[in-house]
Every structure is written in structure tokens, then in C-alpha cells.
Amino acid sequence: DSGVTQTPKHLITATGQRVTLRCSPRSGDLSVYWYQQSLDQGLQFLIQYYNGEERAKGNILERFSAQQFPDLHSELNLSSLELGDSALYFCASSVGGRADTPFGEQFFGPGTRLTVL
Amino acid sequence: AQSVTQLGSHVSVSEGALVLLRCNYSSSVPPYLFWYVQYPNQGLQLLLKYTSAATLVKGINGFEAEFKKSETSFHLTKPSAHMSDAAEYFCAVSDAGNMLTFGGGTRLMVKP
């Protein structure tokens, strides 16, 4: 158990809908990362928040957005869903904001499996 | 831009045999390198990381990896495979500070 929690574990929805994925980081971690894992794209970095502010952006679609709240939990919002958005979405957290530092080790949650029908 | 290539999407070994999972990276600056393991229906767990200290890095569960700058490689090895090692393994690089760039993954199968 990494200490990172994600809800829900599974989500099934229809095309065109909007969903919200939730992540609670490990106690004391200020940084939250979102990743998407799909069969065709592999594991891709989406976005990072550090202490409530957006820190880095990866291959995140405009239909997707995220935020980090004062209690440091984060939500990833996916809207106008398409079949191709079906994937496993991981949240990771770290103490620091940079992966290339001793405090940047990322701990991953169990993921949310999104199925768009 | 950083990138990671894992040679072999599937590797099969017999129990007790050497495990060798290959990873080559591309980076414009000295990188941090990582190996993660993903068991079925679970998140990723860090096996080991290279942070520019010792080139031979020891991780959990008997795994180790050697950083070879001249070959831009960070291959993962384990002397003797166990059935419990069957999982998917991901190599990742970070040289841009914030994000991890992952390879495509290698699924390790262990035959009894």
C-alpha cells in the first residue's frame, strides 16, 4: 500500500459524459501527478500540481482538467468523453515537486479504470 | 526531449533463471532513472532508482540495475527468477524535473 488513494476504482460511463476522478496523496506529500495508461499510448504524464498550483503539463487534452484543493487532494475532470478515453488513470504523489531530486520519488495509487461505452 | 525504449514487450524465463529486462534512454542532461513494477490490477511500485551516485543500483526483491552512460542503458537484472516476479516492468526517466517519461513496458512471465 503506497498511501495514495484513488476513487472510484472503476467507472463506466457513456460517450459525451463528464466524470471526476479523485486522488488523496500520501500524508505530507505536496505534489500530485496524473498519468493515463492505455493499450495504444502506454503510460503518459498528464499534469502535475504542487501545493495547489499547476506545476507541469504533459499530453493532457483540452477536454480534461485538474485541480488540487487546500487539503492537497486532487481531482481530474474528464468531459465530452470519447471511446478512446477508456484507460487506467493513475495518481502519484511526492514530497517535492521535481522527479529528479531526492524528494521527488513518486508513489502511485491503485488507479481508476475508466470505461467509456 | 527525453525518451525510453524497452526492448521486448514480453520476456519469458524459467523459475531460477536469470532475469534481464532491457532499457535504453535518451536524455539531454544527466538523468534520473527508475524501474517500476506493476502487478495485475495494482498501481506501480518503485523497484529502484539511479540518481547519479553509484552506477550499480540495488532495489527491492533482489533486483538491481546498472547505469551505463556510454550505452545509454539501464538494464534490470535478477539472478534467479521467482514465480512471484511475474508482472509488468516499466523503465522511466526524468531529466525535465517534473515528469516521468515511461517506456512501453515489459511483461515478465516466469515458467515453473
Site from B98, B100, B101, B107 to mutate, A interface, most A CB atoms within 10 angstroms: B98
Q: Which residues pair with A108 in a beta bridge?
A: A92
pLDDT of residue B42: 85
pLDDT of residue B97: 66
The percent helix, strand, coil of chain A (3-state, each to 5) is 5, 50, 45
* CB-CB under 8 Å, B98 with A56: yes
Task: Give exposure, B38-70, as e/b (b: 16+ Cβ within 10 Å).
Answer: beeeebbbbbbbbbeeeeebebeeebbbebeee
- The sheet that has A64-68: what strands, in order across it? A5-7, A19-24, A74-78, A64-68
Q: Shortest CA distance to B5 belongs to which of B86, B109, B101?
A: B101
* Shortest CA gap A45–chain B (Å): 7
pLDDT of residue A40: 87
* 3-class DSSP assignment, residue A64: strand
Cα dist from A46 to A1, B27, B59, B85, whole Å:
23, 20, 27, 29
Which chain A residues in 8-47 lie under 8 Å from chain B, judged by CB atoms? 33, 35, 42-45
Residue B2 pLDDT > 90:
no
Site from A93, A100, A101, A107 to mutate, B interface, most B CB atoms within 10 angstroms: A100
* CB-CB under 8 Å, A99 with B100: yes
Give the mean model confidence (pLDDT) for residues B2-22. 95
Residue that the C-alpha cell 543500483 belongs to: B57
**pLDDT per position as a tens digit, B28-82:** 777 889 999 999 888 899 999 988 778 899 999 999 999 998 999 999 999 999 9
**pLDDT per position as a tens digit, A96-111:** 877 667 667 889 999 9
Residue A14 pLDDT > 80:
yes
pLDDT of residue A105: 83
Nearest CA in chain A to B92: A43
pLDDT of residue B28: 72
* CB-CB under 8 Å, A45 with B100: yes
Residue that the C-alpha cell 537484472 belongs to: B77
* CB-CB under 8 Å, A108 with B45: yes
* CB-CB under 8 Å, A104 with B105: no
Residue B95 pLDDT > 70:
no
Chain B residues within an 8 Å CB radius of A105: 46, 49
A4 at B interface, C-beta within 8 A: yes
**Percent of all residues in chain B with a pLDDT value above 70, rounded to a whole number:** 97
* CB-CB under 8 Å, B44 with A90: yes
Residue-averaged pLDDT of chain A: 93
